């Protein structure tokens, strides 16, 4: 199974929904809270090229945010990326 990292903030409904989807899939993930940490947020922006949260990485692949994660799930591509199939 691929390593999953989600950059998030404390008050982010899309972060919660992304976590719920990952939990439903039975996938463990590591959260990086960028709420009050400018350096971690800069790292997130450098890695993803985006400023919004969540930013989700599966292995070295920048998936994007919740909408992108859900789109992969609907297309049947998320399991392959996660290494579940």
Each residue of 18-38: pLDDT tens digit?
999 999 999 999 999 999 999
Tokens standing for residue 72: 């992969």
- Structure pTM? 0.94
Looking at the DSSP bridge assignments, the partners of residue 8 are: 33
Q: Whole-angstrom Cα distance, residue 75 to residue 13?
A: 23
Q: What is the mean pLDDT of the chain?
A: 96
Question: CA 23, CA 1: separation in Å to the nearest integer?
Answer: 14
Pick the CATH number of 4-82 from 3.20.20.70, 1.25.40.80, 3.40.30.10, 3.40.1710.10: 3.40.30.10
Structure tokens at 30: 């590591």
Please report which confidence band the pLDDT of residue 39 belongs to, taking 50, 70 and 90 as the band edges. Answer: very high
CA pair distance 3, 38, nearest whole angstrom: 24
Q: Which residue has the tokens 């579940």?
A: 84
The predicted pLDDT at position 49 comes to 97
């Amino acid at each position: 199974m691929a390593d999953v990292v989600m950059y998030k903030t404390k008050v982010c409904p899309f972060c919660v929904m992304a976590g719920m989807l990952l939990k439903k899939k039975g996938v463990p993930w590591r959260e990086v809270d960028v709420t009050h940490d400018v350096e971690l947020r800069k790292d997130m922006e450098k890695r993803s090229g985006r400023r919004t949260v969540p930013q989700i990485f599966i292995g070295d692949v920048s998936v994007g945010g919740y909408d992108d994660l859900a789109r992969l799930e609907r297309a049947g591509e998320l399991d392959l990326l996660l290494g579940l199939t």
